[in-house]
Structure 1
């Protein structure tokens, strides 16, 4: 059997990054909620919010550890499997990765110890500041990673330099590279998706406690705030998704046509709610709204939208795969909006927590934003093909020339085994913490605050 090194290298990178991408959105989303919970504790002086914050910090720590461990691998893959790509764009791609390590990861990890172990060892204000810095650090990590990826989607502020017959891209304007045409909106899209994913983790575990009639004050307070965050983020994501699609239409027309399954350049272009793309016959069938794609793209129902007929066949993405994952992401986005609005109505009617079927939906729905975020990543990467750097370097040309298929396959199998073990360790730790539940007030070391003169009545009676 002949194994294709390029295919195996792509599978390995896809597997490692998709597994890793389970964890950063949880960290960012949980980080925001922990900041909110702890801020409520510090400023409202209600001990229930410290109880909430301390519990979710433990979940955050377990998630952070696995996320760091799985994220290191990908940087080595650039050198082992994609050395041609690394030589060609390493000067550009390496800059945001270095900035991520220096300005984001060090910030996050530096304050993490205070977040985890500083309760009642530092002042409340200092601990809240540390919590906020951890959140900022995790968010800035996302920023620099998205900048690096966005430059591959919409290259800017560079030039090609040739020395001794070898060409490479070099930065001509660092900030022009950072703020390339797609960077900011893609960063916002990614981070808001992370807010939704983190909120659903809180909603899921809180709903589980409500169904079990355990820790009800804790669970209801956690749930209510996470629901507000999820609702706001879901509506914001609708706007950001539309803006992101417009940027794709402007800078990556082949990807945009694939997202919409549009082969023929035409006016009054239809928008498919769902469908199937027959790539062989270049035809898309499904439920379509006439003229809506033209309107959403250009603000005019009769505007012309470029199709794949404008793109050479060897430069087209895999259309059906791109179309399907994109539409799964959008469908889930509208589901989140509908679920949040319905839940807020039920909350206003004081029926939310007693509606068992809805709580059961939330327990299982934690997987849905993970799927949505994964589909978002696949949309970006499927749609970029056959380019690893849009218009500059094809994926087939970026592979290492010396790495062999058996070597890649062996490392892929080993990564799979290790990652499966890590996944079960992560699930075990989460299960253990969820079953243990939040700490009881009597277990918390309030004596430290009492020595500092904090009011004792914040410990009891303010729930």
Structure 2
């Protein structure tokens, strides 16, 4: 073990942990804004209660996401200074926009939303949560544009004197084909997570809660289930497009996702494969003919290049060495991503069906499914993120910088181990806090139906402070 191995583990652990909060923050911000919009338009207090209830869960998650996200930036300077030096000119623009524009919208207007209840006119207050939601979506776009440049570097030139990548076309970075398909795929995954949370929490309360709140929870269940199903369809469509682009710009990642060692035309999709422990060869596989060719090229008889041929090609182009990712990791994270996403949509569909015509579901299995439903799409998103990053290995920037060349040469193994242990302990404590807070407030149920103040009553006395109670 050396500093590179521990630095990779540290970045992987902290990034995946942070990413647990990102999709829920993005998706739930839009859904909470939607609930408040329905309340403003209809005056139905049930939507106000849902806005306050899920708004509280959203705020808890947002706060934890901000805390864990700050650590990522420190790691660039501490453990990956050579990488930061190489990509700094390119990453400066999208990351600056993310901080100055997107995060400004998100944090500033979220503060106005928290403290603006009954102090701002209703429609102005509604605009603040929509501004925060738009900021969270924009933040995702700029971050994904930077990450997509690592997958498919465009709009730059390599300065041989400094050994740095220099930005030449910012528009090309923002319109990178990988970013154009990764963004909708990721946002659809965010709504899958948020829809799963709404469905799971509402279903649990509907099956165990107070009868007088059943109709309100049923509305949340319907909204969450339909969002989950539509998001699942969007994930499939955008994922299909993403697979074709991935085959063009990162053919090794596609081959690694399928454990395809030899070039095939047509290529079969591997449903289940057993290989050697090091992933070097296939022992047994269950395959569907023609499907991989269609997913990768759009042609059922298209050619999909295998790992062995691509390894030889990369070695000839970039020099001796292994350019193959860890096949068992890429193969199974790809299938976990798909399988957990399908299971999430199936549970949402079942929940939607069992509560039709005003019924209250009674199945014991469905009650158990409600408990795990919020977690399944989170694990699917995390599996997809791990696949995306591990499938790019051994590259930090595809074709330009290997991972081993980006680590800080001045940081020792002991220093990285110390920071890794500290971050792991802190994140473990934060995980306990996050889970306990979410469970506590999710179990508490809907807030009381306080009569909403009119625009003329904004700021009119201590009774209006009750509307702020949900924020704390």
TM-score (norm 1): 0.92
* Structure 1 contact 238–333 (Cα < 8 Å) conserved: no
SS of residue paired to 2:117: coil
Q: Deviation of residue 35 (structure 1)?
A: 1.6
Match of 1:298 in 2: 297
* Structure 2 contact 79–408 (Cα < 8 Å) conserved: yes
Q: Deviation of residue 451 (structure 1)?
A: 4.1
SS of residue paired to 2:163: strand
Match of 2:378 in 1: 370
Q: Which of 225, 236, 239 is 1:238 aligned to?
A: 236
Quote the Cα distance in structure 2 between the aligned partners of 1:297 and 1:342.
32
Quote the Cα distance in structure 2 between the aligned partners of 1:292 and 1:374.
25
Q: Which of 165, 169, 172 is 1:173 aligned to?
A: 169
Q: Which of 101, 115, 118 is 1:117 aligned to?
A: 115
1:29-428 to structure 2, matched below 5 A, reads 29-163=27-161, 166-214=162-210, 215-278=213-276, 279=278, 281-283=280-282, 285-312=284-311, 314-348=322-356, 350-351=358-359, 353-428=361-436
Q: Deviation of residue 212 (structure 1)?
A: 1.7
Count of residues paired in the alignment: 446
- Using a 3 Å threshold, how does the CA distance of structure 1 residues 439 and 235 change in structure 2: closer, same or farther? same
Match of 1:461 in 2: none
Report which stretch shifted further, 262-271 or 334-343: 334-343
Q: Deviation of residue 110 (structure 1)?
A: 0.9
Q: Deviation of residue 210 (structure 1)?
A: 1.7
* Structure 1 contact 273–287 (Cα < 8 Å) conserved: yes
Quote the Cα distance in structure 1 between the aligned partners of 2:357 and 2:284.
42
Uncovered stretches (5+) of structure 2, i.e. residues with no partner: 312-320, 459-472
Q: Deviation of residue 216 (structure 1)?
A: 2.1
Quote the Cα distance in structure 2 between the aligned partners of 1:447 and 1:326.
50
Quote the Cα distance in structure 2 between the aligned partners of 1:280 and 1:446.
61
* Structure 1 contact 57–116 (Cα < 8 Å) conserved: no
TM-score (norm 2): 0.91
Quote the Cα distance in structure 1 between the aligned partners of 2:445 and 2:301.
57
Quote the Cα distance in structure 2 between the aligned partners of 1:254 and 1:197.
29
Quote the Cα distance in structure 2 between the aligned partners of 1:352 and 1:317.
48
1:264-295 deviations in Å (ceiling 9; x for gaps)? 11212110112233356522632210221112
Quote the Cα distance in structure 2 between the aligned partners of 1:427 and 1:310.
46
Quote the Cα distance in structure 2 between the aligned partners of 1:77 and 1:70.
12
* Structure 1 contact 343–352 (Cα < 8 Å) conserved: no
SS of residue paired to 1:235: helix
1:88-140 deviations in Å (ceiling 9; x for gaps)? 11111222111100110000111012221212211111111111111111111
Quote the Cα distance in structure 1 between the aligned partners of 2:402 and 2:164.
14
